[in-house]
Amino acid sequence: MPMIVGHVRGHSHILPDLDEHSKSHWFGRLDSRAKIVGIFSFVVVCALLTKVELITASLVLAVAIAAASGAPVRSLAKAYAAAFPFMLLASVSVFLFAGIERGLEMLGRTSACVIALLALASGTGTFGLFAGLRRLRVPATISTLLMLTYRYILVVSEEFFRMRTARKARGFGGGRSLLDKYALNTISFTAGTVLVRATARADRVYEALRCRGFSGDITVWRTSSLGRSDLVFMAVLLLSSGLLAAIQTGWVQW
Amino acid sequence: MVVLELKKLGYRYEDGTLALKDVDLTLEEGEKVAVLGPNGAGKSTLMHLLAGFRMPFEGDVSVGGVALEEKSADRIRAMIGFLFQDPDDQIFMPTVEEDVAFGPRNLKLDDVDSRVKRGMDSVGVSTLADRAPHRLSYGMKKRVAIAGLLAMDPALLLLDEPTSGLDPRSRSELVKLLKSMKRTMLIATHDLEAASEIVDRALVLNVCPVMKGTMRDLAQAGDVLRSAGLELPPLPMLFETIGQKGYEVDALPVTMDQATAELTRVIDREGRRRR
C-alpha cells in the first residue's frame, strides 16, 4: 500500500506515461511474476541484514535495479522523497534507543527496500503488477482490493486536481500560511467537496463494474508464460538475495 | 416479444424528493425508444433504476419477462448493457481488448474471442485493441464502452446521454453507429436532434410522463416540448418558422429525408400557386 501511495503521490499526473514507458522498456516487458518474486525476495533479505558491508551492497544492488528498470530518475526521486519522512522516523526511533550506527543501518536497509520496490512499481504497468500478484495465487480479495484502491486513489486525485485548478482559476492563492484563516477554510471546503464528488464517482465506477458482471475478482484475459529472460532476471535476483542472506547468517564466509 | 415493461413506475430519492411518477413504457424487441427531458427530469434515475441500482421503487419493472427486485437485479443486469454518461466511469482494464472482454469473462459467456472481435468490429475500434483506453479521445472511449456492452450481447441497451460531451464529428459518427445497430435500445437524452435520427418513438419525461409518440408527433407539439423544458431541434424549428411566414407546411420534419420531402412539397405548392 505505501508503495502504491508513494507511486501516486510521486507522479500522479504522469502515471499513464509511466505505464506506457514500462511497456516499451525491456524491464517493463518482463513477466510481472518474475519481477515480483525476485524483488520481494530481495526486500525480505534486505530487511534482515545487519552488517554494514552487506547493507551497502544491498543499496548498490537496489540502485542497480532502479537503473535497470528504466523508470525516469525524477519520478523515482519524487516517490522516494514521499517515502523518506517515514523511513527517517523509523531511523530516528532506532537511533534514540540504539545509537547512531543502528539508526544509519535502519536508514540504509529501508532505503534499499523502498528503492527496489519503487523500481518494481515504476517499471511495471500498474495493472500488470496487480495481475501478476493474482497469478501468483494472492487471494482475489486482496488483488481486487489493490486494483480498486488504485482506481479510487486516481479518482480522488483527479477530483482534487480539478478542484485545485478551479480554485486557482478564481484567484485563490492562499494556503502557504497556517495563520491564513480564509485559506484554511477554503482548503477544508475543497477537501469536503473532493470527498463528496469522489464518493459519487466511485459509486458510478462500482455500478459500472456490477453492470458488467463484476463479482469480486478481476483477472487479466491475455496472459503469457514465463520466458527465458524472465527466468534469468528472477534467478539473478534470487541468487544475489541468497548470497546476501548466506553471508549475513555466516553460511558463507566473506 | 416484450423486452422491457414499466407499469406505474415511481421513485423517490432518500430525502423524499419525487424523481419519477407513473411512468408506463413497453419496448418490443428491436425497438429504439428515447426518453427525452431536461436536466433533472429523472432520465438518468430511470436508467439506474432499470439497471437495479435504485431500490425500492413503486410499480412494476420487468426485463425479458423477469420482474426487477433485489434478488433478480444481478440476473437483469446480465441482460442489460448500460452505457454510462461518462465513459471514464465505465472503462477499467488496461487495454481496449481486455476491457471489451471484461463483461463476457465475468458473465462466463462462451466464445469470448469472437465476442470481443465482433464487439470491436461493430464500433470500429479493432485497430485499437492493444491501446490503453485512457489515452483515447472521449468519442473513442464511448465507442470502447459500447463495444464492451455489445460483446455481452445484451437483450436491452440502456444508453445514458450517449452524445453528451462529444465534438460535432464524433457525435454525428456515434449517431450513425447507433442508428445502424439492430438492437433494442432505450436512450436517455436531451439531444432531440440525435434522438430524431436514432429512435422510432419517444417518451417526454419531466418526473411524470408528459407525452409519448413518434419523433414526428413530438415535433408537431412544440409547445408541449417547450413547457417540458426542451427545445425543438433546428430542422422542425426551421419549418415552423417557414410555416409562420405563410408557407403551407404539412408536418414538421425531424430527419433530413423528411425535411427534403417537405421542402420539395412547399416549393412545388408555391410554384403552382405563383403560376
pTM of this prediction? 0.80
pLDDT for B153 equals: 93
Taking CA A10 as the corner, what is the angle to CA A219 and CA A173, rounded to the nearest 5 degrees? 125
Asked if B106 lies within 8 A of A211 by C-beta distance, the reply is no
The verdict on a CB contact (< 8 Å) between A127 and B48 is: no
Q: Assess: ipTM above 0.90.
A: no
**pLDDT reported for residue A16:** 53
> Which residues of B are less than 8 Å from A20 in CB distance?
132, 135
pLDDT in tens, chain A (254 residues): 344 434 343 434 445 555 666 667 889 889 999 999 999 999 999 999 999 999 999 999 999 999 999 888 998 999 999 999 999 999 999 999 999 999 999 999 999 999 999 999 988 888 888 889 989 999 988 988 888 888 788 778 888 888 888 888 888 877 677 777 888 888 888 889 888 888 888 899 999 999 999 988 888 888 878 899 999 999 999 999 999 999 999 888 76
Q: Are B197 and B171 in contact (CB under 8 A)?
A: no
Positions of chain B with pLDDT lower than 70, given as ranges: none
In angstroms, rounded to a whole number, what is the distance separating the alpha carbons of residues B22 and B42? Answer: 12
Closest alpha carbon within chain B to A201? B89
Phi, psi angle pair for B160, to nearest 5°? -95, 110
pLDDT at A8: 40
The CA-CA-CA angle for residues A108, A246, A110, to 5°, reads 15
Task: Choose from A211, A215, A217, A223 for mutation: most chain B CBs within 10 A.
Answer: A211
Judge: B135–A222 Cβ closer than 8 Å, yes or no: no
**Predicted local confidence at residue B229, as pLDDT:** 85
**Would you call A213 and B107 a contact, using CB atoms and an 8 Å cutoff?**
yes
Measured between beta carbons, the chain B residues lying within 8 angstroms of A127 are 93-94
In this structure, what are the phi and psi dihedrals at residue B37, rounded to the nearest 5 degrees? 175, 160
Task: Give the nearest partner residue to A151 out of B53, B92, B105, using CB atoms.
Answer: B92
How far apart CA A93 and CA B240 sit, in angstroms, is 80
Q: What is the pLDDT of residue B36?
A: 93
- Please give the C-alpha separations between residue B238 and each of A121, B194, B225, B232, B271, in angstroms, as whole numbers: 59, 16, 16, 9, 20
Q: Which pLDDT score is estimated for A184?
A: 85
Query: Chain A residues with CB inside 8 Å of B92's CB?
Result: 151, 205, 208-209, 218
Q: What's the grid cell of residue B238?
A: 426551421
- Give contacts of A124 with chain B, Cβ < 8 Å: none
Predicted pLDDT of residue A216: 84
Is A204 within 8 Å of chain B by CB?
A: yes
> Which residues on adjacent β-strands are paired with residue A246?
none
Q: Closest Cα to residue A2, out of A105, A113, A77?
A: A113
Nearest by Cα to A6 from A77, A107, A89, A88:
A77
Contact B82 A211 (CB under 8 A): yes
Residue of A201, A213, A220 with shortest CB distance to B103? A213
Q: Nearest-5° angle of CA A56, CA A63, CA B94?
A: 145
Nearest to B101 among A201, A211, A221 (CB): A221
Per DSSP, B51 falls in state T
Our CA-based measurement puts residue B98 at a distance from the nearest CA of chain A, in whole angstroms, of: 6
CA–CA separation, B68 and B11 (whole Å):
14
